[in-house]
């Protein structure tokens, strides 16, 4: 039944963990659509045949009874609301990445996709992912709005300049799937296509090993995006105000910051995640961590999205070490190499 409907509706294969349940909802809506058209068509045809005009004589005045109108409204509304409830539930699943998802940093630009893995490898237009493991894409654009769309996974997310958007999926079968830019982005929009290659976990591990970390490899020893992040942070002078060993400074330490909630000067708190870190670089004064001064300059336009990703990854790599309480408090500036 699933296969027959999928074929009939020309839907791509269902190759992500969420694709099948979304298609089921799709079927229910399409079947209801055809049922609706059929009921209307049947009613009109019957009426046309039965009540075709024979003369211009008066017709009886008929007013829809209230209960019938209420029934139509109530029936259809409950159907629509049911779809909304189910659809929104699925939407929440699509929008909320699992905690153990493997991060990959995506930079979109006219007209190509660039992917960077925390352990170092990078690629253009081909995203390699393991089967059976959630993958979380942290995406940013260098120029205009793009949209990351993999039909076989039933996922799509706009990639917006100046902010980080995320998208996650779990591929369910090895294979090569089309990646398309679906938000109009200029002259060669329709050529901004790529592929998602899903490999079995073993193949993926081998691929990852074999992929020589290129320019993302750090100079100061160690490979990977986090090492690159350390370099970028040094270049941009981040360590003038931030430490990575838990030491106090002008700004909050990066050690153990990721994944925790941080109180804000304005009251309330914020979860330190990719979005917050990116926002803090682009718009530092929007959410000031409690106990710190609003002194950080913006790096909007001064730092490449790929480098932003590297810094985010550096901070993420420092997540597992919990800082002690006194280390959170700011003191005199300490210059770190």
Partner 1 sequence: MTDYLRAKRGIRSWLGTLDHKRIALMYFCAVTIALILGGAFAMLLRTKLLISGPGIMEPLTYNRLFTWHGVTMVFMFLIPSIPAVFGNFMLPIMIGAKDLAFPRINLASFYVYCVGVAFTLWAMIHGGADTGWTFYTPYSTTSPTDVAPITIGVFILGVSSIMTGLNFIATTHMLRVRGMRWMDMPLFVWAIYATSIIQVIATPVLGLSVTLVALDHSLGMGLFDPSLGGDPVLFQHLFWFYSHPAVYIMILPAMGVITEIAATFSHKNILSYKAVAFSSLGIAFVGFLTWGHHMFVAGISQLDAAIFGIMSMFVAIFSAIKVFTWVGTLYKGSIWLSAPMLFFFVFIYLFVFGGMTGIAVATTSLDVHWHDTYFVIAHFHFIMVGASVSAFLAAAHYWFPKMFGRMYPEKLGVLSAVGVFAGFNLTFVPQFLLGNAGMPRRYYSYPDRYHVLNVCSTLGAYLLGGVMLFTLLYLIISLFKGKPAPANPWASRCFEWRVPSPPPEENFEQPLDLSLGCYEYDRE
Partner 2 sequence: MSSQYDSIARQHATARVGMWLFLSSESLLFAGLIALFTAYRLSYPTAFHAAAEHANVVLGTINTYVLLTSSLTVALALASTERGRRRATVVWLLVSIALGATFDVLKIVEYAQHLHDGFAPGHYFTATTLPHGAVLYFTLYYLLTGLHALHVTAGIIVLAYLAVRARHGAFTPESHVVLECGALYWHLVDLVWIFLWPMLYLLR
Beta strands in 94-174 (DSSP E): 102-109, 112-116, 122-124, 126-130, 135-141, 146-150, 155-159, 165-169
- Selected from 1, 4, 63, 335, the binder of partner 1 by CB under 8 A is 63
We find the least distance from the C-beta atom of residue 96 to partner 1, in angstroms, to be: 8
- Selected from 89, 222, 268, 297, the binder of partner 2 by CB under 8 A is 297
Q: Which of residues 154-213 bind partner 1 (CB under 8 A)?
A: 154-158, 160-163, 165, 178, 180-191, 193
- In the block, tokens 């090993």 appear at 209
We find the least distance from the C-beta atom of residue 270 to partner 1, in angstroms, to be: 14
Is 32 or 288 the residue whose CB approaches partner 1 more closely?
A: 32
Of 174, 129, 177, 171, the C-alpha closest to 151 is: 177
C-beta atoms surrounding 237 within 10 Å: 11
Phi, psi dihedral angles at 274 (to 5 degrees) = -55, -45
Q: What is the DSSP-derived secondary structure letter of residue 289?
A: B
We find the least distance from the C-beta atom of residue 299 to partner 1, in angstroms, to be: 11
Residue 220 is a binding residue for partner 1 (CB under 8 A): no
Residue 302 is a binding residue for partner 2 (CB under 8 A): no
Partner from partner 1, partner 2, none contacting 297, C-beta within 5 to 8 A by type: partner 2
Q: Do 258 and 322 touch, CB atoms closer than 8 A?
A: no
d(CA 236, CA 159): 25
Q: Do 198 and 174 touch, CB atoms closer than 8 A?
A: yes
Q: Which of residues 252-271 bind partner 2 (CB under 8 A)?
A: 266
- Selected from 75, 98, 263, 294, the binder of partner 2 by CB under 8 A is 294
Phi/psi class of residue 300: alpha, beta or left (left: φ > 0; alpha: ψ in -120 to 50)? beta
Partner from partner 1, partner 2, none contacting 214, C-beta within 5 to 8 A by type: none
- Selected from 3, 60, 100, 325, the binder of partner 1 by CB under 8 A is 60
Partner from partner 1, partner 2, none contacting 48, C-beta within 5 to 8 A by type: partner 1
We find the least distance from the C-beta atom of residue 285 to partner 2, in angstroms, to be: 5
d(CA 35, CA 37): 6
**x/- binding map, residues 12-41, to partner 1, per CB under 8 A?**
x---------x--xx--xx-xx--xx--xx
Q: What is the DSSP-derived secondary structure letter of residue 142?
A: S
Kindly give, in sequence order, each residue whose CB lies less than 8 Å from that of residue 161, ignoring residues fewer than 6 positions away.
140, 141, 142, 143, 144, 145
Partner from partner 2, partner 1, none contacting 64, C-beta within 5 to 8 A by type: partner 1
Residue 286 is a binding residue for partner 2 (CB under 8 A): yes
Tokens of 10: 């020309």
Summarize as ranges the residues that interact with partner 2 (CB under 8 A). Answer: 266, 282-286, 288, 294, 297-298, 300
């Amino acid at each position: 039944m699933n296969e027959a409907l999928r074929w009939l509706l020309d839907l791509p294969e269902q190759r992500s963990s969420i694709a099948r349940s979304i298609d089921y909802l799709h079927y229910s809506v399409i079947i209801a659509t055809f049922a609706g058209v059929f009921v209307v068509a049947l009613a009109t045809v019957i009426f046309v045949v039965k009540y075709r005009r024979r003369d211009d004589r008066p017709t009886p005045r008929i007013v829809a009874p209230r209960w019938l109108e209420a029934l139509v409204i109530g029936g259809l509304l409950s159907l629509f609301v049911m779809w909304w409830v189910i659809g929104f539930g699925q939407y929440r699943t699509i929008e909320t990445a699992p905690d153990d998802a493997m991060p990959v940093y995506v930079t979109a630009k006219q007209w190509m996709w660039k992917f960077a893995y925390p352990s170092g490898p990078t690629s253009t237009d081909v995203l390699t992912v393991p089967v059976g493991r959630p993958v979380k894409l942290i995406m940013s654009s260098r120029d205009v709005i793009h949209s990351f769309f993999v039909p076989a996974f039933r996922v799509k997310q706009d990639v917006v300049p100046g902010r980080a958007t995320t998208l996650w999926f779990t591929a369910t079968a090895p294979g090569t799937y089309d990646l398309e830019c679906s938000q109009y982005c200029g002259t060669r929009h329709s050529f901004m296509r790529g592929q998602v290659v899903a490999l079995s976990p073993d193949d993926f591990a081998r691929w990852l090993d074999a992929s020589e970390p290129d320019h993302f490899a750090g100079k100061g020893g160690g490979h990977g995006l986090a090492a690159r992040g350390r370099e970028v942070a040094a270049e941009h002078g981040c360590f003038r105000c931030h430490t990575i060993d838990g030491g106090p400074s002008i700004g909050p330490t990066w050690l153990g910051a990721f994944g925790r909630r941080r109180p804000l000067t304005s009251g309330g708190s914020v979860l330190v995640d990719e979005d917050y870190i990116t926002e803090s670089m682009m718009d530092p004064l929007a959410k000031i961590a409690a106990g710190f001064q609003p002194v950080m300059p913006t790096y909007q336009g001064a730092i490449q999205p790929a480098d932003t990703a590297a810094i985010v990854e550096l901070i993420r790599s420092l997540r597992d070490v919990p800082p002690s309480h006194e280390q959170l408090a700011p003191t005199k500036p300490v210059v770190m190499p």
